[in-house]
Structure 1
Amino acid sequence: MSSSPKIAIVTGASRGAGRGIARALGSHGCTVYVTGRSQNDGDAEMPGTIHATAQEVTDAGGKGIAIRCDHADDDQVKAMIDQVIAEQGRIDILVNNACAISNALTTPGQFWEKPIHVGDMINVGVRSGFVASWYAAPHMVRQDRGLIVFTSSPGSMHYCYGPAYGAHKAGLDKMAFDMGVDFADAGATVAAVSIWMGALATERLLAMMEAMPDQLGHLEGKLESPDYTGHVSWALLNDPDMMRFNGKTIIGAEVGRDYGITDMAGQFPPSVRTGTGAVPPEYAPYKIK
């Protein structure tokens, strides 16, 4: 692979997992395009902006570039991909992390007792990941090297916050599998991978743990840093045998341990397999095309 800086796009990177992933990729010298809607504090329910994340990428040793992009708008996604190609000529890593998460998702009640906009995460989550990949894939296939990552969780295989969250995560896992089939059929060295993250030490979860110690206190000392998936993604891209992961749903903590990637306090994060009993899906090889 070329020694020039790798070009990454991390969607939904104003805060949370996207912010950490972008920062981690920056620490490996990547040029990272940070996308999202939040340009100013107060633009969303939680703090964080694309500009602050881009600066953190640069401070970590990479080059952060913020692009304001509403991932519910296909034209804006196209314009974002076009800008990256015009400025860099390639895309090495696309991390599909954008998701319309509302605080209402975690409030008590059944799904019909919560605001209907909770379901927006199926659109700005599953479909937005498809659209960003649709625009990025031709460039990756042409350069014959690339990695598309979906940020997922074991909530695809057990109940978690209701049907909108579950459909979102299950959709990402299956989409990675199907995209992987198409990349393999094209003979391209491009991998689509869905990564199950653990309970992340994000602004949102830390606030929830403080507000609900009885329900969430068991997570104390068991959190995974938001940066960890970024380090795992970097290792995947640089693995000579990257294609063994194509189309797979993987547990980030387990693959990261295999690569020797430690997390906070120099420890390996716990696998989400422990406690949940969930295992990544295994799809049938039967194909209709």
Structure 2
Amino acid sequence: MIGVEPVDSDAMNRALRAGHPVSLETPGLFADGVAVRQVGSYTFPIVQATVERIVTVNNDEICGAIKDIFDDTRTIVEPAGALAVAGLKAYVERTGERGKHFVALLSGANMNFDRLRFVAERAELGESREALFAVTIPERPGSFRQFCAALGRRVITEFNYRLNDRQRADVFVGVSVGSREDAAQVRAGLLRQGYEATDLSDNELAKLHVRYMVGGHARDVKRERLCRFEFPERPGALLQFLDTLGGRWNISLFHYRNHGSDFGRVLAALEVPPEEDQAFEGFLKDLGYRFQIEDGNDAYNRFLQPTRKS
């Protein structure tokens, strides 16, 4: 018998190691059904006598287990209810066990609907189906397209960028992968092609906050036009979109997130001199994608519009 606990709420795991119940200072609350500061005096000796070991899992692995259970049974369990499946997957991966039968006991479906958004966002990371990278690319027209070409036919799940320097650009990019080993191969391939690339898949700050905060009021943007685009979502669609966009105008802001829908949605700003406005708007009409010019959008003006140099 194997027990499973969240890595940030492992009171039983620590108690077994210590030989007596210990108190956690601040147990994690994501799997709130098992978030106890100290295990009970009755349960501890029972677990001590019957459980072989405790496997700990992180929140991403729990989210991946919730998705697995939904895919298999079309039922939704709460984070604590998915612990057994998350632990089973982690145990098999870490030990390499094969040719055996395992049983995971599910218990608990007290799921808050608002929490599903977080679960959906993190499930692909938990299953090692998505990897997040910080990549440095040259700051010049066409560098986005060149970078996407370097990734080949891989599905880009997320792409965040804001112009901040005329020499180099740091982009936040998500890529569909098959495993952690596959993610390592993606990074190695980028390094071989001369890119600086850092895997952020285990970086909690990046996953919780930075991915939503890339941008701000750039100071080095000359003059930009802001547009929203929609294009059919399929493998290679983002690269095709960038090919169609061409390299006439420099991209100063770019945000894309694959939500699994039929259409991909991009927010992009391009540096366009005033004398080229007419040509730019004609280009948009001939582009073949649905678009909306957002130059005067209040959210853009407040949070993203370039600041004037002092």
Same fold (TM over 0.5): no
TM-score range, shorter chain: under 0.3
Q: Which has more helix, going by share of residues?
A: 1
TM-score (norm 2): 0.26
Decide which structure has greater strand share. Answer: 2
**TM superposition score normalised by structure 1:** 0.28
